[in-house]
Amino acid sequence: MRTRSRSISLLASTILGLTLGLTACGDEADPVPPAVAGTSAAAPPDSCGGAGDRVKDHLNSAEVSSVAVNGQCTSVVITTTLGDDAATAALRFCESAAEVAYTGDVNAVTVLAASGAELAIGISGAKCMASA
């Protein structure tokens, strides 16, 4: 009986020691490095033959928030600061983008309002159209 109680005591001490040891490891975790003020992450390179950069440079407008190439480099999406009722301006952006966008696999241009609503769309070989 004495051997059994000694084994239980030894087992309890071992478990207690492991628990305390693991708890102590949690306190010694590597600290998170502080953010460096004034820096920002670099934009990922345009991996679609420069189509997005080419369109953004060509449009060169403060009303263009971003230009992204989606799918397998098949669609250029232009996000703007335009309102949902700015179909005429969206058509101008779409037609201007079409002048340089349709290279490689790119075959569509979409212009979005600030709200995310689709304002205009174009496909290679056709005029841009306002969305309904």
Between vectors from CA 96 to CA 87 and to CA 116, what angle results, nearest 5°?
40
Shared domain check, 5 and 70 = no
**113: helix, coil or strand?**
coil
8-58 pLDDT, tens digit per residue, is 555 555 555 555 554 444 444 444 444 434 433 334 555 788 999 999 999
Shared domain check, 120 and 55 = yes
Considering the domain boundaries, does residue 38 fall inside one? Answer: no
Q: Pick 6 or 85 by higher pLDDT.
A: 85
**38: exposed, middle or buried (Cβ count in 10 Å: 0-12, 13-18, 19+):** exposed
- Whether the pLDDT of residue 132 is over 70: the answer is no
Count of structural domains within the chain = 2
72-85 pLDDT, tens digit per residue, is 999 999 999 999 99
Is pTM, for the whole model, over 0.75? no
Considering the domain boundaries, does residue 86 fall inside one? Answer: yes
Q: The tokens of 55 are what?
A: 């369109």
Strand positions, DSSP E, 32-114? 64-70, 75-80, 108-112
Considering the domain boundaries, does residue 56 fall inside one? Answer: yes
Give the domain range for residue 105.
Answer: 51-130
Shared domain check, 58 and 27 = no
Shared domain check, 65 and 24 = no
Q: According to the model, what pLDDT value does residue 15 have?
A: 59
What average pLDDT score do residues 100-116 get? Answer: 95
Shared domain check, 55 and 117 = yes
Considering the domain boundaries, does residue 41 fall inside one? Answer: no
